[in-house]
A = this chain, B = another copy of it.
Amino acid sequence: MTFSISPDNKKFKIPDEKMTLKEISNIKYLCALNRKKGKKIVVVQGLGFVGAINSAVIADTQVDNEIPYFVIGVDLPTKNSYWKIPIINRGESPVEAEDPEVKLIFHRAVHQKNNLHATWVSQAYTEADIILIDINLDVEKIELGKAVNSRVKINQFKEAITDIGGRMRPDALLIIETTVPPGTIEKIVAPIISEKFRERKIDLEANPPLIAHSYERVMPGKEYIKSIKQIRRTYSALNEKASEEARKFLSNIIDVKNYPLWRLPNTTASEIAKVMENSYRAMNIAFIYEWTLLAEDLNVNLFEVVDSIKVRKGTHDNMMYPGFGVGGYCLPKDPLLAEWASREIFKREKHLNFSVQAVDINDLMPLHTFELLMRGMNNILKGKKVAILGASYRKDVDDTRNSPSIVFYDEVLKNGGKPAIHDPYVKVILQREDIVVDQDLDRTLKLAEAVVLVINHGIYLSSAAQKIASNAKKNACIVDAFNILSDQDIKSLKEKGFLILGVGKGHINNL
């Protein structure tokens, strides 16, 4: 018997064939019931950070006191994914989030409105009026700092589309929300669906596939729900009918009165928009990196410099600060999707050098903090306890996807150090169960010979300096990689005998 285990260690039996047969009939019953109530059936494929929340938001939607959509969320009955399904069906959220609305919305959608059901059976697609694709399209990096050699896992995505093409109703609307390489819908999705329709003897003239693209701008954190409902949304479609239906659907979900939809004339344009948007952000971070190194060497506090520049509203106010590195699902990979599309779909010889380079620079950033650590430790790390404060890549969330903390942790290990990692939000790092994340800050810091502050969680801003002073070894080396410590903290720790270094904080030498 196989189990799927949730991040908070709940065990769920992965369904067998008998359960699956029962679930198929359950799905049919639920759809018939809700269709009778006048609802359309929306099936969301993928119950990750986007799809899960999206499912609940759509299920929770009311328009003029009517509930327009019954929602079925689909994910795979695998060890890594299955647990989300029973969790959602209990009315709980499969993602931890600061936004208190997240918990409420799952409870409302499942228990009060009886309007959200999660499942693992593909037969849901045959029932759907609208299918939302929210599965991941991952990029696997072969080597750190060589992003151009990455593998885009397009085959898994193609298989999912193929499966849907074999099941979806000819008149169903398919909305791709997944971030995809530009050109994917026209050159990959549409041909697959058409081919499947032909196999199913569906007349393509009478039933041109209704495929739209609308990328999300979801941001896990304090405004998780707002980042779905109250945010500008871009969309596009392969034909007028799909465009009009996508517009109607999105208008029901999103507060379009205050956040009007933006239509782009074709799916390639909106696919470019998504990856370009994230590439811009990635590049703005990479830009700071080389100025960070300059500032350190010139004894300058780059945070102050950036603050002085950011007063230029409209041109410079989005300048980033020095930091530890870049994590999350999008920024480390989206420029690579564009590069891949350019090369593989469109056979271009020109590269998106600047954007790909940004990924490399950002991926290598945690190694700069490691260099500072080594400098502070006189290059001797063997056997030394190194406390790492922070496992997630983002302030006050539990998200550890592509967290630079992991790169740093491994580097410490590789050099013979003993990393101890703390994060108040993170219970487990998926795919890296070997890393034990401690929730006890005192224990993590106890007798540490080095302390590295890597993310600006509120608790570090308020208490890290004091906790370090009372727990770490005297003379420990402290590396502040995210401007956690104030100049006052630094002076006081220096007086106590600690050695302090900081990313972008060249002025520390003069304090």
The chain B residue sitting closest to A319, CB to CB, is B280
Of B265, B308, B357, the residue contacting A273 (CB under 8 A) is B308
Q: Is the Cβ of A305 less than 8 Å from the Cβ of B348?
A: no
Of B276, B279, B297, the residue contacting A348 (CB under 8 A) is B297
The dominant DSSP class at the A interface is helix
A266 on interface, CB distance cutoff 8 Å: yes
- Minimum C-beta distance from A403 to chain B (A): 21
A507 on interface, CB distance cutoff 8 Å: yes
User: A290 CA to B277 CA in the complex, in Å?
Assistant: 14
One of A238-246, A310-318, A411-419 at the interface: A310-318
User: A319 CA to B284 CA in the complex, in Å?
Assistant: 11
Q: Is the Cβ of A298 less than 8 Å from the Cβ of B182?
A: yes
User: A273 CA to B355 CA in the complex, in Å?
Assistant: 24
- A347-371 vs B, CB cutoff 8 Å, 1 = contact: the mask equals 0101111110100010000000000
What residues of chain B lie closer than 8 Å to A355, measured between beta carbons? Answer: 287, 290-291
Given the contacts A273-B308, A318-B314, A361-B354, A346 and B280 also touching, CB distance less than 8 Å: no
User: A348 CA to B297 CA in the complex, in Å?
Assistant: 8
Interface residues on A, range: 35 or more
User: A346 CA to B5 CA in the complex, in Å?
Assistant: 55
What residues of chain B lie closer than 8 Å to A361, measured between beta carbons? Answer: 354
A142 on interface, CB distance cutoff 8 Å: no
A183 on interface, CB distance cutoff 8 Å: yes
A251 on interface, CB distance cutoff 8 Å: no
14 pairs from A and B in contact (CB 8 Å cutoff) = A232-B312, A264-B305, A265-B301, A265-B507, A269-B301, A270-B308, A276-B291, A276-B305, A277-B309, A280-B309, A287-B354, A294-B352, A297-B348, A314-B318
